[in-house]
Amino acid sequence: MAQTRQDMGSGNVKKLLLQLMIPAVVAQVVNLLYNIVDRIYIGHIAGIGAAALTGVGLFAPILMLLNAFAMLIGAGGAPRTAIALGQGNKEEAEKILGNSFTMLLFFAVVLTIGFYAGAPILLRLFGASEATLPYALAYSRIYILGSVCVLLVMGMNPFITTQGFAKISMLTTVIGAVINIILDPILIFVLDMGVRGAAIATVLSQAVGACWILRFLTGSKTILRLRKEHLRPEGRVILPVMGLGISTFVMLSTESLLSISFSSSLARYGGDVAVGAMTVITSVSQLCTLPIQGICQGGQPVMSFNFGAGNQARVKEAFRFQFTLCFGYTTLFWLGMMLVPGLVAGIFTSDVPLIQYTTWAMRIYMAGIFAMGVQIACQQSFMALGQAKVSLLLACLRKLILLIPLIFLLPHLLPDPVFAVFLAEPVSDITAASITVFTFLSRFDKILDRGAANV
């Protein structure tokens, strides 16, 4: 199969962006199938569907932490790699690639040991009850054993995209997701393995994705090759990568803290049905956030490369197009969630009380999701331009500074505490987006004028 690579420094910017964005969006949506397909099948297991679905949902904080460590490297390394390529420094770009691979392996070993041993305590902390803990533990321990594959797929795939091989990057997740979709019903229902079968299917599919990535990055078609001489970590290489990636790490790891906050508050005020509704809502909200992250992943190589090459006009045009697409998509998504939330909830479970509860909760939770597009477009553009400090501040704003405190504060201020917990989301979405857009637009031209040599 021919490996098509897009040239970042020439040609029509919008056409180039679409060539990179479309595969990245497809990859993000397909990647979401790893979790959504599991939950759809689990939610329909006869007799235990609702309890099993809630139990698997309680694994979300651990899953998010695994993703956070993967993207600490992937989201920090890929822009710096593209900037180095824009500056014509291929040797430095390959050092970033090799150092990043080693750090991902290190994180995989540490996280596997820690999470496997601590799973029972962590899951109870996340809100597991006697009814849901067995399902949460059965799923989580199998998934944790395969976490090295998860980290390699999430952490190394951005290095393929940032070279311009968007279709190869897309195939990483497409191949894995197809395998997952095929294995899920076989292992869950035919072999009667239940939630364990769902976990095994996901791990096996991620393992195939990891092998695909390693084969490509050590093969003859890649521009940047994973070389033995670059595997030993160097502080001057890996520390800037982690410095830039820390904002994405904070966003994803606080998603874990956020999930804990929501689950504990909802378990207190609304019981298992409220936690189950949040499991469904979390999956649905990813249908909004992951495609716009795909749009930004497609935009990142173009902005980073041209920023490194000093081509301000192409950077600005790429940002404007990315901003428009993100805001347009989230607005359409918001409209759908306001009109047919019950139809969406019914995909995940056949439990009628859970569908009815989720329909009510989803309209509240999604009320401000239209603002998510502009926030992510601006925050990810800061990442593409190597702006570590301001990106970190904005990553903390929505969740740590606004949302998590509101989850615990609003129930004491409003008469319906469950309504108040769900309301915290739109309040923080709109506030954070307004601040982020103002900050980006006031700094954009100054960053371009200073140039890549100062990042």
pLDDT on residue 297: 85
Would you say 336 and 370 are in contact if contact means Cβ atoms under 8 Å apart? no
Close Cβ partners of 11 (under 8 Å, ≥ 6 residues apart): none
**Straight-line distance from the first to the last Cα atom of the chain, in angstroms, rounded to the nearest whole number:** 37
pLDDT tens digit string along 277-332? 888 888 788 888 888 988 998 898 899 989 988 889 999 999 999 999 999 999 99
**Position 35 confidence tier, pLDDT thresholds 50, 70, 90:** low
Q: Which two tokens stand for residue 357?
A: 């509860």
Max Cα–Cα distance, the chain, nearest Å: 64
Question: What residues contact 104, with CB distance under 8 A and at least 6 apart?
Answer: 69, 70, 73, 151, 152, 155, 156
Long-range own/partner contacts, residues 45-50 (CB < 8 A, 24 or more apart)? 45/188, 45/189, 45/194, 45/195, 48/135, 48/194, 49/349, 49/350, 49/351, 50/272, 50/276, 50/349, 50/351, 50/354
Cα gap 17→335, rounded to integer Å: 26
Task: Decide: pTM greater than 0.85.
Answer: no
Q: Which of 61, 159, 52, 86 is nearest to 310 (CA)?
A: 86
Structure tokens at 453: 């040599």
Residue 4 has pLDDT above 60, yes or no: no
Per-residue b or e along 174-204, where b marks 16 or more CB atoms closer than 10 Å to that residue's CB: bbbbebbbebbeebbeeeebbbbbbbbbbbb
Q: Position 33: which residue type? A: L
Q: Is 127 left (phi over 0), alpha (psi -120 to 50) or beta?
A: left
Tell me the domain boundaries of the chain.
13-454
Cα separation, 343 vs 363, whole angstroms: 12
pLDDT for the residue 316: 94
Structure tokens at 163: 């070279």
Predicted pLDDT of residue 1:
41
What would the mean pLDDT of 43-48 be, rounded to a whole number? 62
The mean pLDDT value for 411-427 works out to: 92
- Tokens 């006031």 label which residue? 442
Please check the confidence at residue 239 and state whether its pLDDT lies above 90: yes
What's the pLDDT at 180?
86
Distance from C-alpha of 151 to C-alpha of 111, rounded to nearest angstrom: 10
| Tens digit of each residue's pLDDT (9 = 90 or more) over 359-368 | 999 999 999 9
CA dist 354 and 69 (Å) reads 33
Rounded Cα distance, 75 and 287, in Å: 20
Q: Which of 33-42, 54-63, 164-173, 230-239 has the lowest mean pLDDT?
A: 33-42
In the chain, what percentage of residues exceed pLDDT 90?
44
